[in-house]
Amino acid sequence: MNAEHNEQEIFSSSDEEFNTIYPLKIQKLSSRHWTPIKVAKRAAEFLAEQKEARILDIGSGVGKFCMVGAISSEGHFTGVEQREALVRLSNKISRRFQIPRVEFILADIRSIDFKDYNAFYFFNSFEENRDLTDSIDEDTRYDPSLYEANNQYLYKQFDSLPMGTRIVTYCTLPDIIPEAYVKIRSEIKGKLNFWIKRH
């Protein structure tokens, strides 16, 4: 895939074709760490259903979910990522293909004000702290206590948000979702789940 391809061609391609916009090392991590196009499209459809939807991707990696989501919906997508190299790469690619309504920021999730958003996507971003298989880089450390602390932090943030907040989780245990959220549906053999805060 080259720079002459437009954003619609990126979205309609296969995951294998889409991933060629990334360096080879990133491509090799795709099956474990980056959201498949089919999943990103389904999640974005749900998260951006409301007008003026502001969606936060928690641990955006190389930005694949946000870019596909922005192309396939009218929502505004923000990816937060703690690896500077991945943020730079995400911003470079989104500018190269002139993808609208998407931005990537370098930050720790604890510095983000969740109330600036009304919808969230989470693809088990903290899993590396308890499973170093196919780690993204050498900076990742095995720390199950950090995994638990981060999940508890997410739970508290989600719990503080207003009624109507939407969340999509992928390959994630449900213990980060407070009781006030109702599971609207589940797809891909329970891997992809859709939640709305109702109580």
Residue 1 lies in a domain: no
Q: How many structural domains compose the chain? A: 1
Condensed to tens digits (0 to 9), the pLDDT of residues 157-197 reads: 999 999 999 999 999 989 999 999 999 999 999 999 999 99
Condensed to tens digits (0 to 9), the pLDDT of residues 131-148 reads: 545 555 666 665 778 888
Query: Looking at residue 164, which CATH number applies to its domain?
Result: 3.40.50.150
Domain range for 152: 7-197
Residue 2 lies in a domain: no
C-alpha–C-alpha distance, residues 43 and 46, integer Å: 5
Residue 161 lies in a domain: yes
Lowest mean pLDDT across 38-42, 73-77, 147-151: 147-151
Residue 31 lies in a domain: yes
Q: What is the pTM of this model?
A: 0.87
Residue 129 has pLDDT above 60, yes or no: no
Residue 146 lies in a domain: yes
